[in-house]
């Protein structure tokens, strides 16, 4: 492609709206253009990168038995009503009526449609298992678009769905997808961190996220410094330190704590460690008041709490709601709770005694609260938030570290959540009707492109891995009107194209500085320069995007030497089907 004919251009100034390095460079280098908040036009460079990422995805999905389909973006709302997600999902789901007055939605995901498709297609056990996948547009009316393509309202996604006779068959297949995902991200130039994750609105019995560890990431991750444990903080566990209890449980004592509301202030005032305090946190959960008890030196993990409660909405209770239940904000007590208040206690309170807690009146607290003497707890739950330096829950000596990351992909064991709701069954060998079990596997294609840039750039621009670069070579002609240089560059461009080397040819009438800056910004793996100096040296200058040195390709050897140089830059291996073959689901 000649840059003189290219339908995009680069920018010198820094985009003021850019929040991440990938956002900045994809805008500056002419890959994307914003249309509205969280909605982008993909320009020729981006389309080429996306096509290469999609090709890698297709190869790996096909290698584990996937069959590609394409499902509609516009969907009847009654399918979503069957599963309950129409009622449970908020305004992120775009709802509307068609011209006939029928309720419709724009797909933010395709579980309902693919499950409906399966119940139409599956007859008996011989049709199982199978896996279908698509690369399709999704619409999510995201309230907080950010980071360019990292969190958007319209995006391209590869979503795959597998269907199985039972949970055991899903368990056998799940590791194959796990490996295929690892292959995909490695081939795109990213070594993923795989973490245990919360299934969220997707549901199911288990899930894993494939994360790109990067400081600009929107997710907080927990990883052990010794073993392989890693998890999203929404789903992370820790080894809770156990404390030796006091020799005896003491009687409750009310003490004045004037002006002390926070745990830190109360602990300091009473000369006790924060671990000897009982934090009382009240939530409004779907309109009902919930009391959460947790040790004072920990914070509540609201994702875990929502999953335990099984609620759609969770927010801290307003003082007015507490007042209606006879509670004093800032000094609420775990004692004498109203009968309609649900109690959830964290397992950090299983150890220790004689805790300090609120007295339910201003400027007073209670010493020596004990469980179960003073607070009846049906069961202890894990609702605490993991923190830096906590003990690993998997190994005896590991310490947890917090890192930031971008989610690249998410895989789920959905189980029968959707097939129960939509009554999808099959006939087994004995003609008995059995429930179909599902798995679900997603990758955001644009988000993956952004993540590649996040980990492959320098201060001058993008440094694309060859596997997904928009072009392999960036040919720069520094002719300044010199016919010999123009002819040599044109001839080399023809040779490279004939040799199958994807080449971006900068034939514009621009200064060398502009052309070199654009080459660095766009980030093709190899820059080839034709100039008076290079011709005097016998050919063309070759410089790898990440290299400091320049080599000369002779005019006689031309494309052959350039191909060899490109091959020397290759740092990734071809993993297609490295674990499985096409008969995986057979």
* pLDDT tens-digit readout, 4-29: 999 989 999 999 989 899 999 999 99
| Helix 44-63 and helix 445-455, axial crossing angle in degrees, nearest 10 | 110
Residue 98 has pLDDT above 70, yes or no: yes
DSSP string, 232-280: EGGG---BPPP-PPPSSPPPPEEEE-TT--SHHHHHHHHT--GGGBEEE
Strand partners, 124: 427
> Can you give the pLDDT at residue 573?
38
Mean pLDDT for all residues in the chain: 92
> Can you give the pLDDT at residue 28?
97
> Can you give the pLDDT at residue 144?
85
Considering only 81-90, 501-510, 561-570, which range has the smallest mean pLDDT? 561-570
State how far the Cα of 182 lies from the Cα of 194, in Å rounded to an integer.
9
Task: State pLDDT tens for residues 215-258.
Answer: 888 899 999 999 989 999 998 999 988 778 889 999 999 999 99
Residue 575 has pLDDT above 70, yes or no: no
For residue 183, CA distances in Å to 67, 175, 352, 584 come to 18, 12, 47, 16
Q: Are the CB atoms for 469 and 49 separated by under 8 Å? A: yes
Enter the pTM of the model.
0.89
Q: 3-class DSSP state for residue 4?
A: helix
State how far the Cα of 298 lies from the Cα of 274, in Å rounded to an integer.
9
State how far the Cα of 415 lies from the Cα of 348, in Å rounded to an integer.
31
User: Which of 489-498's residues contact partners 24+ apart within 8 Å by CB, and which partners?
Assistant: 489/530, 492/528, 492/530, 492/540, 492/558, 492/559, 495/558, 495/559, 496/559, 496/562, 498/559
Residue 462 has pLDDT above 70, yes or no: yes
pLDDT band, residue 571 (cuts 50/70/90):
very low
Considering only 376-380, 428-432, 521-525, which range has the smallest mean pLDDT? 376-380
Considering only 253-267, 325-339, 344-358, 538-552, which range has the smallest mean pLDDT? 325-339
The predicted model gives 418-428 an average pLDDT of: 96
User: What is the set of domains in the chain, with CATH numbers?
Assistant: 43-214+406-454 (3.30.930.10), 253-381 (3.90.960.10), 461-569 (3.40.50.800)
Q: How many CB atoms lie within 10 A of CB 233?
A: 19
Residue 582 has pLDDT above 80, yes or no: no
Residue 576 has pLDDT above 50, yes or no: no
End-to-end CA distance of the chain: 43
pLDDT band, residue 585 (cuts 50/70/90):
low
Q: Which of 145, 159, 41, 45 minimizes the C-alpha distance to 444?
A: 159
Q: Are the CB atoms for 562 and 528 separated by under 8 Å? A: yes
Helix H, strand E, coil C: the string for 146-211 is ECCCCECCEEEEEEEEEEECCHHHHHHHHHHHHHHHHHHHHHCCCCCEEEECCCHHHCCCEEEEEE
Residue 417 has pLDDT above 90, yes or no: yes
pLDDT band, residue 574 (cuts 50/70/90):
very low
> Can you give the pLDDT at residue 312?
82
Q: Are the CB atoms for 503 and 227 separated by under 8 Å? A: no
The predicted model gives 124-131 an average pLDDT of: 94
Q: 3-class DSSP state for residue 488?
A: helix
> Can you give the pLDDT at residue 205?
62
């Amino acid at each position: 492609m000649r840059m003189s004919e290219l339908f995009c251009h680069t920018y010198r100034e820094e985009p003021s709206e850019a929040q991440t390095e990938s956002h900045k460079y994809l805008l500056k280098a002419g890959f994307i253009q914003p249309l509205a908040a969280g909605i982008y036009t993909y320009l020729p460079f981006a389309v080429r990168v996306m096509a290469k990422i999609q090709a890698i995805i297709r190869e790996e999905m096909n290698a584990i038995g996937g069959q590609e389909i394409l499902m509609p973006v516009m969907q009847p709302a009654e399918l979503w009503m069957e599963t309950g997600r129409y009622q449970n999902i908020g305004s992120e789901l775009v709802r509307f009526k068609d011209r006939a007055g029928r309720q419709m939605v724009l797909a933010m995901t395709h579980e309902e449609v693919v499950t409906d498709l399966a119940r139409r297609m599956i007859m008996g056990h011989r049709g199982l298992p199978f896996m279908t996948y698509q690369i399709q547009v999704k619409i999510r009316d995201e309230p907080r678009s950010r980071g360019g393509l990292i969190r958007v309202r319209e995006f391209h996604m590869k979503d795959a769905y597998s269907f199985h006779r039972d949970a055991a068959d899903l368990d056998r297949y799940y590791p194959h997808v796990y490996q295929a995902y690892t292959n995909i991200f490695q081939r795109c130039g990213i070594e993923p961190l795989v973490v245990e994750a919360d299934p969220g609105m997707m549901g199911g019995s288990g899930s894993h996220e494939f994360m790109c560890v990067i400081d600009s990431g929107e997710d907080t991750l927990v990883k052990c410094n010794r073993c392989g444990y890693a998890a999203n903080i929404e789903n992370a566990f820790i080894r809770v330190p156990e404390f030796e209890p006091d020799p005896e449980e003491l009687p409750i004592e009310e003490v004045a704590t004037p002006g002390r509301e926070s745990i830190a202030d109360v602990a300091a005032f009473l000369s006790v460690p924060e671990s000897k305090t009982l934090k009382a946190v009240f939530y409004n959960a779907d309109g009902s008041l919930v009391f959460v008890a947790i040790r004072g030196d920990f914070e509540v993990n609201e994702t875990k709490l929502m999953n335990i409660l099984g609620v759609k909405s969770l927010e801290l209770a307003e003082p007015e709601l507490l007042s209606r239940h006879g509670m004093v904000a800032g000094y609420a007590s775990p004692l004498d709770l109203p009968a309609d208040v649900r109690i959830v206690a964290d397992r950090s309170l299983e150890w220790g005694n004689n805790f300090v807690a609120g007295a339910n009146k201003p400027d007073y607290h209670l010493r020596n609260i004990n469980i179960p003497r003073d607070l009846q707890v049906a069961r202890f739950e894990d609702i605490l938030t993991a923190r830096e330096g906590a003990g690993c829950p998997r190994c005896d000596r590991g310490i947890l570290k917090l890192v930031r990351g971008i989610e690249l992909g998410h895989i789920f064991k959905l189980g029968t959540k959707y097939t129960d709701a939509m009554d999808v069954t099959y006939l087994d060998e004995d003609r008995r009707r059995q429930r179909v079990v599902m798995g679900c596997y997603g990758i955001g294609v644009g988000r993956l492109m952004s993540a590649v840039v996040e980990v492959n750039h320098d201060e001058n621009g993008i440094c694309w891995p060859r596997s997904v670069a928009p072009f392999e070579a960036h040919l720069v002609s520094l002719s300044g009107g010199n016919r010999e240089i123009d002819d040599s560059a044109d001839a080399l461009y023809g040779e490279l194209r004939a040799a199958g080397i994807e080449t971006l040819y900068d034939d514009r009438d621009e200064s060398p500085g502009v052309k070199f800056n654009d080459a660095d910004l766009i980030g093709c793996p190899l820059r080839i320069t034709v100039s008076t100096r290079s011709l005097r040296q016998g050919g063309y200058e070759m410089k790898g995007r990440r290299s400091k040195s320049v080599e000369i390709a002779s005019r006689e050897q031309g494309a052959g030497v350039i191909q060899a140089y490109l091959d020397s830059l290759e740092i990734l291996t071809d993993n297609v089907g490295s674990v499985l073959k096409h008969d995986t689901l057979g």
